[in-house]
């Protein structure tokens, strides 16, 4: 029973969804390989889909991707991120011909805050991708192809000025750890960080819940506190949640975290996270 609960919590961490708006932008990209003519493609995409199966060496070099997206006026006050779930192996991102940042390594997700690079109307995304051998990054070789390209999904993330830290290695920003386990109870530690990129200080309402497989609340905790304006993330909360008498019926644990910030005029939901096994 102890091993089972530990496994459940590990799975919970890896399956996180949140109410920050996520828009897929996989369709209708333009692609060019080594200054060739642009052609329309959809993501995921690799330029080695054919030559990797020939007896000749497959191409390892540079490809370019570009796409126009429309940013409406009401999105300009938001926090806008581009998330790449996988690019092999090195990526440089440009928005409206301005360099945003680089990512090195082909097997981890990454995201960039593009808020200050966007404008109302049409915005051009350009991504330079390279899959050449680089001795500073694995893999250096093997009996497999180092496929070049944007080989996983790309999304636009739209969040509020106050949000759970979105710059934490493209994770959910919420971390769980089982601290104590026995046959009738468990204690779970939850940690997360909050960022306020707005112009004003705000009060934040914090709520964490654990639910069982029947969606009934097993335990919960609430708190309200002030969050000062700052560019740096700070510890939002480190809390321990005690689960009693879960017995053999618990197969699913759901952690739900809500952060709500208040202004003089309105209450606005920031984010809801659910950890499901």
- C-alpha closest to that of 198 among 226, 168, 174: 226
Work out the pLDDT band at 259, boundaries 50, 70, 90. very low
Asked whether residue 265 carries a pLDDT value surpassing 50, the answer given is: no
Asked whether residue 1 carries a pLDDT value surpassing 50, the answer given is: no
Q: What is the mean pLDDT of residues 242-259?
A: 44
- With beta carbons less than 8 A apart as the criterion, state whether 201 and 229 touch: yes
Beta bridge partners of 155: 24, 83
| R_g of the chain computed on alpha carbons | 22
Q: What is the mean pLDDT of residues 20-48?
A: 95
d(CA 45, CA 57): 19
d(CA 52, CA 50): 5
Provide the mean pLDDT of the chain.
76
pLDDT of amino acid 201:
76
Task: Identify which has the larger pLDDT, 183 or 71.
Answer: 71
Task: Identify which has the larger pLDDT, 162 or 225.
Answer: 162
Asked whether residue 79 carries a pLDDT value surpassing 90, the answer given is: yes
| Domains of the chain, start order | 2-19+163-275 (2.60.40.10), 27-152 (2.60.120.260)
Secondary structure (3-state) at 121: strand
Q: What is the mean pLDDT of residues 70-91?
A: 96
- Token look-up 């054919």 returns 50
Show the 3-state SS of 9-37: HHHHHHCEEECCEEEECCCCEEEEECCCC
CB atoms within 10 A of CB 23: 10
d(CA 63, CA 31): 7
């Amino acid at each position: 029973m102890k091993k089972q609960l530990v496994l459940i919590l590990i799975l919970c961490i890896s399956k996180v969804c949140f109410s920050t708006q996520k828009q897929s932008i996989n369709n209708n990209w333009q692609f060019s390989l080594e200054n060739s003519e642009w052609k329309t493609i959809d993501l995921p995409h690799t330029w080695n889909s054919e030559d990797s199966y020939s007896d000749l060496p497959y191409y390892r070099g540079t490809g370019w991707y570009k796409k126009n997206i429309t940013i409406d006026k009401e999105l300009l006050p938001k926090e806008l991120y581009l998330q790449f779930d996988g690019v092999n192996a090195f990526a440089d991102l440009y928005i409206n011909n301005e360099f945003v940042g680089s990512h090195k390594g082909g097997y981890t997700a990454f995201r960039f805050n593009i808020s200050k690079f966007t404008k109302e109307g049409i915005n051009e995304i350009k991504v330079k991708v390279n899959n050449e051998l680089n001795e500073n990054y694995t893999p250096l070789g093997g009996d497999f192809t180092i496929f070049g390209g944007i080989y996983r999904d790309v999304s636009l993330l739209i969040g509020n000025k106050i949000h759970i830290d979105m710059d934490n290695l493209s994770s959910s920003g919420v971390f769980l750890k089982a601290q104590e386990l026995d046959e009738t109870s468990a204690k779970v530690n939850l940690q997360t960080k909050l960022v306020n990129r707005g112009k004003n200080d705000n009060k934040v309402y914090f709520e964490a819940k654990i639910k069982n497989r029947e969606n009934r609340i097993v335990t919960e905790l609430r708190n309200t506190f002030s969050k000062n304006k700052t560019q740096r993330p700070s510890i939002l909360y480190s809390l321990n949640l005690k689960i009693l008498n879960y017995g053999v019926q618990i197969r699913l644990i759901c952690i739900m975290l809500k952060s709500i910030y208040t202004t003089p005029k309105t209450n606005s939901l920031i984010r809801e996270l659910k950890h499901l096994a």
